Structure formats: C-alpha cells, structure tokens
Chain A
C-alpha cells in the first residue's frame, strides 16, 4: 500500500511538471515595438522599382528596373491613419504620378495587428492589397510597400513593384 502511494505521488508530481512546461514565445529583443503605429502618418514616395518576377525565377538577365525617374512617381503620397492601435482611414494623393493604388480613400485593415504583412485598402466593394516590404522601425526610417501582379488565369506571379516611402 505504501509502495502504491509513493508511485501515485511521483506520477502526480510528474504530471504537474509536464503540464507546467510550455514553450516560451520568441519576443523581439529590446522594448516592445508597435509596428502598426510606426506606419501611421503621411508617406511620400521616394523610390519605385519594377521587378520581372518571372525573369528572376528563371535566372534571366534584366530582372529589375528603377522606374523612379521615368515617370513622376515622387509626387505620390499616402496617408495611413491609426487610432487607438487600430488602422482606420487612408487617403492617396497621386499628384502627377502614375496610379500605384487604385483607390483614393477609404478604410484600411491588416492581416495581423501585431505583425502586419498585408495591408488591405478598402472602399465599398473595392479592395487593393499591398504587401509590407519593410517596417519603418529601428535603423530603417522608410516604409516599403510591394504590389504584386499575377497572371489572371494561372495565378503565377509575373511582376512586382516595390515602393519606398519617407515620412512627411
């Protein structure tokens, strides 16, 4: 009987140890960063790059082209508003720039509030999806957005445009 009690106590302790074990989440080093808040504000386009994704995938020459000076891209600005840690409204001011975002204003959302990757610009039924290429945090002061274009039939990625913005 004494022997059974000992086994029961050991098993209980082992269960408690196992249950209390859980992997630590990997946190950012240093202070906690508010990535969404870092995007808040008005951004002026400083650089536009066009990438032939199909050529890149195949290892062909002529994979990308800096198109900043080919058309007046630097007159484009984008305002992303964040209130109480949540994305709210956006406005675009294309100036004389080619259209890089179809919508001129509306609401925006993200796929993940803590670690956003995709921005969804929404106006009524229309949605424009832009991928974040880099957060304006730490040593980086520029906001990088990427717009992907895929073959309508196959979904194959063919072209991407990478835009760099400076905070106004």
Chain B
C-alpha cells in the first residue's frame, strides 16, 4: 500500500514538473518578433478565475523600463490586456515587444509580467526576467559562442576583460571556468565542471565544453540550462594571490533539430 502511495506521489510530481511555466512560442524571439505566452496559474492567487489580465513591463531590474501599453490602470485593466483562456487555469497572450512597450529593439533587453484580475484584487507572482534576442551586438564581459546552443553543441564561454566593470573582474588573472548544469526540474546535474581557460585574444579568455558529454541528467530528465563563471587570482596588498570568481551567467538551451 505504502509503495503504491509513493508511486502515485512520484507520478504526479513527475507530471507537474515536465512543463515549463510560462512557456513561449517561438522559444526564442527578438523584440520585433510576435511571441505567444502560455501560462498556467494553478497554485497562484489567480487559480480558478475566468478572466485574467496581463500586467507587463520591460527591462525589470534594469534602467529604461516601461509599462506595457495595454496595461491600463491597476484597478481597471484595459480590455486589450485580457488573455485568451486555453483550458483550466491556462491562458495565452500574443504580443510584439516593440509595439507593446513603444521602445526600440536597442532599448529592449528583457521583460516581466504578471496576471491579475481586472480590478487588481488578485494576482500571480511576477514572472521575470525573460530576455529578447538582441538585434544588435551588445559586447559583454561574459559571452557564449554560439549565442544559442543545444545540449550536444560545442559551447565556448568567453571572458572579455575589456568589458569588466568590477574591480575583481578588471584585476583578475583568469585561469579556469566553472559550469553548473541544471535539469528541467531546476536540480543541479552532477558536480560542477571546472576546466582551464585558453587565451584567445589580448583581453579574451575562452573555455569549451560539450554539455551532454560532460553532464548526464537523471533518468527521465533533460538538461535545461547551465550557469558559468570565470575563476582566477588577484594580488592582495601583500602581493599574494587571492582566488576570485566572476558572477554567474545563465544560459538556457535552445532545442534544435
């Protein structure tokens, strides 16, 4: 009986965990592409409601944010913000970033949103941040090549020190990179991978790995994303080397065929 109970619990946990929520179609999109959000509000303050309204905002946590033009007022959402029901507790909404926020692709980095009742008396938590694919190249300290990767690709992580903005990153003598892999449940997969970097340009250090060669997910799970950081040393006031690491940068895999 106990075994049957465990079986049922794990079966239901498994079913609940597989779907990504919210999901986007297409999975990657620029600020000029039309994207459809599908969201399941089960377990939120919006569970069981018939009508849901989108409250959307750009660049959460960054400068240059704007509210969606469809938002309306918090206590009286605009009808153009109403989502389309797509089954019990499920809603969809279609929008294009540049139109929704009245901003240029260069200004739009990411967006966040929540679902609410028209009068604002109930809402989901914030869902954020979700990044637009860039239409212009934005140089950065941490960069992945290619920009979109699947689990069986050669993935190269790059540390470009000329774009460092913190003292440690600016002073670091990079030597290794560390990869932490996550599965579709958000659990870490195996141990973190630390490998040496190679210097590929005056200010650039690079390291490469193949995700599904270095990491094997548990049975029934798949690799979803990874975080990477760069490690090295700086000299302290006595001239002795001290270990430092850059901040983690996260990359979600793109499913390819």
Please indicate the chain B residues that have their CB under 8 angstroms from the CB of A159 in the complex.
Answer: 146, 148-150, 153, 256
| B145 at interface, CB cutoff 8 A | yes
| A20 contacts partner chain B, Cβ-Cβ < 8 Å | no
Known: A151-B254, A158-B254. Contact between A54 and B148, CB under 8 A?
yes
CB neighbours (8 Å) of B25 from chain A are 153
**A58-B137 in contact given A98-B210, A98-B213, A152-B256 (Cβ < 8 Å):** yes
Residues of A within 8 A of B27 (CB): 151-153
Closest to B28 in A: A151
Do A71 and B147 touch across chains, with their CB atoms under 8 A apart? Answer: no
A36-68 near B? 1/0 per residue, CB < 8 Å: 000000000000001110110010111001010
A150 to B147: give the CA distance in the assembly, Å: 13
In chain A, what residue has the closest Cβ to B138? A60
Determine the chain B residues whose CB is within 8 A of the CB of A61 once the complex forms.
137
Which residues of the other chain, A, contact B28 by a CB distance below 8 angstroms?
Answer: 151
User: Quick one: given A151-B26, A153-B26, are A65 and B145 in contact (CB under 8 Å)?
Assistant: yes
Residues on B with beta carbons closer than 8 Å to the beta carbon of A50: 145-146, 153-154
A71, B25: Cα distance in complex, Å: 34
B257 touches A152 (CB 8 A): yes
The reply to whether the CB of B152 lies closer than 8 angstroms to some CB of chain A is yes
Query: Which B residues are in CB contact (< 8 Å) with A33?
Result: none
Interface code B130-154, partner A: CB below 8 Å = 1, 0 otherwise?
A: 0000011100000101111110111
A125 to chain B, nearest CB (A): 15
Known: A151-B28, A158-B148, A159-B148. A62 touches B143 (CB 8 A): yes
Given the complex of chains A and B, what is the CA–CA distance between A60 and B154 in angstroms?
A: 19
Closest to A153 in B: B26
How many angstroms from the CA of A52 to the CA of B148 in the assembled complex?
A: 8
Pick the residue among A52, A58, A71, A154 that contacts B146 (CB under 8 A). Answer: A52
A50 to chain B, nearest CB (A): 6
Q: Is B104 interfacial (CB-CB < 8 Å)?
A: no
Tell whether B80 is near chain A: CB-to-CB under 8 Å.
no
Report if A70 contacts B (CB, 8 A): yes
Enumerate chain A residues within 8 angstroms of B154, measured Cβ to Cβ. Answer: 50, 65, 67, 70-71, 98
Residues of chain A with a CB closer than 8 A to B137's CB: 55, 58, 60-61
**B87 → chain A, closest Cβ, in Å?**
20
Nearest CB of B to A147, in Å: 11
Q: Which 9 A-B pairs have the closest CB atoms?
A: A52-B146, A60-B137, A152-B255, A149-B256, A154-B26, A153-B26, A70-B208, A152-B257, A67-B154
For the A-B complex with A60-B137, A99-B152 known, give 12 more contacts whose Cβ atoms are closer than 8 Å.
A50-B145, A50-B153, A51-B146, A52-B146, A60-B147, A61-B137, A65-B154, A71-B154, A152-B257, A158-B146, A158-B148, A159-B150
Instruction: List residues of B whose CB falls within 8 A of some A CB.
Output: 25-28, 135-137, 143, 145-150, 152-154, 156, 208, 210, 213, 254-257
* Selected A-B contacts with CB under 8 Å, 22 pairs: A50-B146, A52-B146, A52-B147, A54-B147, A58-B136, A60-B147, A61-B137, A62-B145, A65-B156, A67-B208, A99-B152, A149-B153, A149-B257, A150-B256, A150-B257, A151-B26, A151-B254, A151-B255, A151-B257, A154-B26, A158-B146, A159-B149
Interface set of A (CB-CB < 8 Å, partner B)? 50-52, 54-55, 58, 60-62, 65, 67, 70-71, 98-99, 149-154, 158-159
